[in-house]
Amino acid sequence: MWYAGVGSRQTPIIVVKRMIEIAEELSELGYTLRSGGADGADTAFEKGCDAVSGEKEIYLPWAGFNNSKSELYDCYNLMHLVTAQRTYGPQWNRIRGPVKKLMTRNVAQVMGLDDREVAYSEFVVCWTPDGCESTSKRTRVTGGTGQCIAVANDLRIPVYNMFNDNFEERLKQHLYRRTLFEN
C-alpha cells in the first residue's frame, strides 16, 4: 500500500506539523510513503515516516537532490516521461531539462516504478496554497504539486489537499472504506 505525500515548499508550519503526524499514522497502518525530497511538505512527510521507521520511496530528479541519500533517481521509464509530458501540457517542449526531470519525478511519486496499476499510489495527501485537488482547478499557484494532482486525476486516484477544511474527514473515510474492503 502506497500513498504520495507531497506539496508546496512554502507549506505553513502548522500544516507541516500535521503532515509529520499523518505520515507517522499512515506508516503505522502499513502504508509506504512516496515523496520527492524537496523542502517543505516532502521533507515533513519523510520526517514523520522516519520517526516511526516507516517504509518510504523518495524519488529524486537527480542524485543528491536537496542532499537526499535516496538512490531513486535516473530510474524513470518511457511511461513516466510520456505521462509527464501529457499532464504538463503544451509548454513541455519549452521547459528546460532540469524542470522536465522534476516533473517526471512527480509522476513517479504517484505511479511508482512498476508498470502495473496495482502498484500505483492509493491516494495523494498534499498542501497547495490554492487547495487544488483536480486538474480543472489547477493554477500557477498550485505549483509543481499540480503535476502529481493531474497524474492522480488521470488515474482516478483520490487527492486530499490539507488546505481544504474537509480533507481529514474525507481521508479518514477513505481509510475506513479500505479497512472494510480488506475484511
Instruction: Please report, for the domain that includes residue 136, its CATH number.
Output: 3.40.50
What global pTM score does this model have? 0.92
Cell numbers for 60: 529524486
First-last CA distance in the chain: 15
Whether the pLDDT of residue 182 is over 80: the answer is no
Q: Tally the domains of the chain.
A: 1
Cell numbers for 85: 509530458
Could you tell me if 137 and 18 are in contact, meaning their C-beta atoms sit under 8 angstroms apart? Answer: no
- What confidence category does residue 178 fall into, taking pLDDT thresholds of 50, 70 and 90? confident
Whether the pLDDT of residue 24 is over 80: the answer is yes
- What average pLDDT does the structure give for the chain? 93
Q: Which is more confidently placed, 26 or 114? A: 26
**Domain containing 18: what range?**
2-182
